[in-house]
Amino acid sequence: MVRKMGVYAVIAYTLYGLFYYWYLFYFANTSLPFEFQGSQADPTTFLNGRELMLSEEYSKTRNLLFFLSTPLEWLFYFLILIFGLSKAFKKWADEASKNQFLQRAIYLIWLSLFAFAATFPLSYISFSLSKTYNISTQTFASWMKDELIDFWINYGMMLVIVSVLYWLIKKSQKRWWFYAWLLTIPFTLFLMFLQPVIIDPLYNDFYPLKNKELETEILSLAKKANIPADHVYEVNMAEKTNALNAYVTGIGSNSRIVLWDTTLNRLNNDQILFIMAHEMAHYVEKHLYIGIAGYILLSLLGLYLTHRIMEWAMARWGRELKVQGIADIRSFPLLLMILSMFMFAASPFSNMVSRYQENRADQYAIEMMKNPEAAITAFQELTRSGLSQVNPPLLVKIFRYGHPTMLERIARIEQYQFEHRPKE
């Protein structure tokens, strides 16, 4: 029975992968609707033939890797359970120490190492792909360093979460999900407070913007938006990527305005000011706090469903999964699998909300800067630097895009230009 379940899971994953390969490479139509051909949203007007070809190739492969990666995690956790590896990790941990906390730490290091090994091939393929298409400028050593930082940060947070979570489950197997949800609120806010000053600097160097004239203009925009910022930060991303980005991060006194140096190198001041006005709009319209509230509500639903599904799975397949009950730490891979499935299923909704907020931020920036030409050329350069598809396939947009497509963004600005054209 166990062997059959494993075989069926591998077959299901293979069929799933073949479906998305067929959809992305043979079925999906990414050509522009007739009414947008020749407009400023048409990539043939701002990309050369080679860039057009590369953007299609790169986007298709990158999208396929995205759709393969998350279900690979589900398959990994499922196989870990049915083939008894979770049970083996627990046994090794128990043999290594009598201390309960150390047992959890040892169990999690084994689980984390196996998960890292299982997902490493796809991660490396993604890195190699970005190098091949000149998106990434990162050396393998630098990339590997970032991967290891990810590993240890995730491990540290997981150890804290698991220790608290399984203590709650042992105290209340009926209400643990609710108590865990209550703790996610301060934990999420704490992480967001730490992100700009503790976590982000582990990956890159941040320093005050060198271009003081540009910094003055950005801070002037921030003052108009009532953003409490005294500095604009620059981050050295050119060593890692040719892509462009800028953002406002953190909460409270740790809020930061950040520009990638690639953005500073590739865009002019008008284009940068439009992008910064867009980022500031998220602060003005409280999108960060709306996002936190939405995440917290989704967490409540996700934890409750996880509780119910785990109880059902334990009652029906506990023996096959080699787990005695929910309170048994060996059930942790099942919990991770269910939560990952829930987040993937919820991503179309969260992406839809995000696209609405991004649309609002675009509108705010257009009306604030009143420079549609700078906005359009900035979006065109973002498309070129990331080899992005202007009109991605529907399923890609639904599951991947937290921003409107470039077609939608540029077309909306052209509409603004038309509506505000000088009257004769």
Beta pairing partners, 232: 257
Predicted confidence at residue 424, as pLDDT, reads 55
DSSP labels, 284-301: HTTHHHHHHHHHHHHHHH
Residues annotated as part of the active site: 279, 362
| Burial per residue of 117-138, b for 16 or more beta-carbon CB atoms within 10 angstroms, e otherwise | ebeeeeeeebbebbeebebbbb
Mean pLDDT of the chain: 90
Predicted confidence at residue 249, as pLDDT, reads 77
Predicted confidence at residue 215, as pLDDT, reads 87
Contacts of 349 (CB under 8 A, 6+ apart): none
Nearest to 256 by CA among 293, 206, 303, 301: 206
Predicted confidence at residue 2, as pLDDT, reads 62
Predicted confidence at residue 270, as pLDDT, reads 92
Q: Which residues of the chain have a pLDDT value below 50?
A: none
**Which residues does the annotation place in the binding site for Zn(2+)?**
278, 282, 358
Predicted confidence at residue 247, as pLDDT, reads 82
**Which residues does the annotation place in the binding site?**
278, 282, 358
Q: Tell me whether residue 270 is exposed, middle or buried, using C-beta atoms within 10 angstroms of its C-beta: 0 to 12, 13 to 18, 19 or more.
A: middle
Check: pTM over 0.85? Answer yes or no: yes
Contacts of 351 (CB under 8 A, 6+ apart): 398, 399, 400, 401, 402
| Burial per residue of 223-251, b for 16 or more beta-carbon CB atoms within 10 angstroms, e otherwise | eebebebeebbbbebeebbbbbbbbbbbb
Integer Cα distance of 20 and 402 in angstroms: 20
Three-state SS at 135: coil
Predicted confidence at residue 348, as pLDDT, reads 95
Query: In this predicted model, what pLDDT tens digit does every residue of 329-355 receive, in sequence order?
Result: 999 999 999 999 999 999 999 999 999
Looking at the chain, the whole-number percentage of residues with pLDDT higher than 70 is 98
Predicted confidence at residue 256, as pLDDT, reads 78
